[in-house]
Structure 1
Amino acid sequence: MPFDQVCPRCEQDWVRPYRFKSDGARFLLCTECDSMWWPGETVAIRCASFLDDVVAARLGVAEPWTDRVWADVLEPVPDPAR
């Protein structure tokens, strides 16, 4: 089932499901402003985390993108309707 909600933080893109490649943990992400929400969280400004902060914490580094790109760490969840 597609998730069609405009990002409440930037209002410039859709919030879409993604997952971490390392363990398959899913989350919702706005690729325009890098806001993310864990499953079960309300997709609202007050609940948003920033992708960079979460990835840095998961990897145990200060800056997650110095020697890697998004495709190394995360991927969109395939739409089962396609």
Structure 2
Amino acid sequence: MSATDEFVEADNAEAIITRIEHKSRKIESLLKQWKPVEALKTALEGSPPNTRDERCKSANWIVVHRAIMAIKDLDALFSSLDPEYYDILMNFE
């Protein structure tokens, strides 16, 4: 497998965008239910695989950012998150 094979092909970008849009609707529903931590976990779960498609990266960041901005007490959030979520957050550039 070459280095370029590790990245999602552009043909799959539309499918990734569709999944992100679905996830966004779920996150908005969680935020309306006053469940911001669950919204952030949902935003981080199933983050797009390695992709060079900037639309996918941007769309996913918007969803994660929306969930983070709804949280009032970030210290409490970070102390309650599992380490796997830290790893996902650190992958955002």
Larger of the two Rg values belongs to structure: 2
Which is helix-richer, 1 or 2?
Answer: 2
- Structure with greater strand share of residues: 1
TM-score, with structure 1 as normaliser: 0.30
